[in-house]
Amino acid sequence: MSSREIADLVEKRHDNVLRTIESLAQRRAIALPQSEEVPNDGPGPKTIRQYRVGKRDSYVIVAQLSPEFTARLVDRWQELEARTPAPVELSRMQILEMAMESEREREELAAQVAAAAPAVEFVGRYVESTGLMTFRQVAKLLKVKEPEFRQFLKEEKVMYVLGGEWTAHAQHIEAGRFQVRAGTAQANGHAYSTSKFTPKGVQWVAGELAKWQLAQRQKEGSHA
């Protein structure tokens, strides 16, 4: 409940209510409520300050201002509380079904990750012998279409496009997943930089891509 509502209930000026609240807070009869700026419907400034008051403290404030309005305050709180929908109570069976569904999803994810493990291990062994790799080389190695690979890299904030070049985010460069190579184009003398996957980066991205693809399939299944 706001201090303005209290002022209306007890038919007092709002500034008087504010002073009463602050006086009670200084005496530690109530906690100083949170204040906020709200639009002013009346004359004066465009916004005014008001307090958000809890139920217990509102009774203390009204008792200080005008005890005869306590009944009106009780009615107002009942009106406010009636607007709040009651929490939905779940049956024991519903709770069990939710727990079983969550466990099934966890097991499916674990199975998918386990199935992807040999492929990730193969990628690790492969890149150890080949060194740095470009975006297209990694997409081909992981057997993923380039548009899908781009979507994954963007959504997961692995890489972004800068000046027409795929550029790794700084945290992944610092983690050793990419190396940035800079140079100058012989044709026009323009400087350029390109991010290439390190062996560590390819192995990491293979695992992350597998998890992302699984999440995408689960989303599609939920919308089907």
Q: Are 39 and 4 in contact (CB under 8 A)?
A: no
Reported confidence tier of residue 88, pLDDT bands at 50, 70, 90: low
Q: Are 6 and 76 in contact (CB under 8 A)?
A: no
What pLDDT shows up at residue 159?
A: 93
Backbone angles phi, psi at 32, to 5 degrees: -65, 120
Reported confidence tier of residue 73, pLDDT bands at 50, 70, 90: confident
What pLDDT shows up at residue 96?
A: 66
Highest mean pLDDT range out of 74-83, 119-128, 207-216? 207-216
Q: What is the DSSP string of 53-91?
A: --HHHHHHHHHHH-GGGHHHHHHHHHHHHHHSPPPPPPP
Integer CA distances (angstroms), 218 to 39, 111, 214, 224, in order? 45, 14, 6, 10
Residue 50: Cβ within 10 Å count = 23
What pLDDT shows up at residue 40?
A: 82
- Say how far apart CA 22 and CA 31 lie, in whole Å: 9
Helix orientation angle between 70-83 and 55-65, rounded to the nearest 10 degrees = 160
Task: Determine the residue type at 69.
Answer: F
8-state DSSP, 133: B
What pLDDT shows up at residue 180?
A: 86
Outline which parts of the chain fall under CATH 1.10.10: 128-222
Report the predicted TM-score, pTM, of the whole model to 2 decimal places: 0.42
Tens of pLDDT, residue by residue over 152-183, are: 999 999 999 887 788 999 999 999 999 988 76
Integer CA distances (angstroms), 95 to 100, 103, 108, in order? 9, 12, 20
What pLDDT shows up at residue 129?
A: 46
Reported confidence tier of residue 199, pLDDT bands at 50, 70, 90: confident
- Which candidate, 71, 61, 72, places its Cα nearest to that of 18? 61
What pLDDT shows up at residue 76?
A: 77
Higher pLDDT, 28 or 103: 28
The stretch 97-113 carries a mean pLDDT of 64
User: Are β-strands 34-39 and 178-184 bridged in parallel, bridged antiparallel, or unpaired?
Assistant: unpaired
The stretch 72-94 carries a mean pLDDT of 69
What pLDDT shows up at residue 70?
A: 72
Tens of pLDDT, residue by residue over 106-155, are: 666 566 555 555 555 555 555 554 578 888 888 888 889 999 999 999 99
Tens of pLDDT, residue by residue over 32-65, are: 888 898 888 777 788 889 999 988 888 888 888 8
Reported confidence tier of residue 94, pLDDT bands at 50, 70, 90: low
CA angle 186, 187, 189 (to 5 degrees): 60
Q: What percent of the chain has pLDDT over 90?
A: 17
CATH 1.10.3470 fits 128-222, yes or no: no
